[in-house]
Amino acid sequence: MVAALWVPFATLAGVVTSWQVQGIDSDWVDRQQAACRHLPFPKAEYVAAWSGVVLGVSAVVVCVLLARRVRRECGGRLAGTKAGLVAHIGAWAGVLTIPLELFLLYATYSPVDSGPVLGDCG
In DSSP notation, 9-42 reads HHHHHHHHHHHHHHHHHHHHHHHHHHHTS--PPP
Selection from 104, 98, 117, 113 nearest residue 45 by Cα: 104
Is position 31 within any domain?
Answer: yes
d(CA 38, CA 20): 21
Instruction: Report pLDDT digits (tens) over 58-106.
Output: 998 988 888 888 778 777 777 777 877 888 888 888 889 999 999 989 9
Q: Say which residues have a Cβ less than 8 Å from residue 108's Cβ, sequence separation at least 6.
A: 21, 25, 45, 46, 49
Is position 58 within any domain?
Answer: yes
Is position 117 within any domain?
Answer: no
Domain of 80, in residue numbers: 2-109
* pTM for this prediction: 0.80
Is position 120 within any domain?
Answer: no
Is position 119 within any domain?
Answer: no
Confidence of residue 55 (pLDDT cuts 50, 70, 90): very high
Kind and range of the H or E element at 99?
A: helix 82-109
Instruction: Give percent above pLDDT 70 in the chain.
Output: 90
Is position 16 within any domain?
Answer: yes
- Count of domains forming the chain: 1
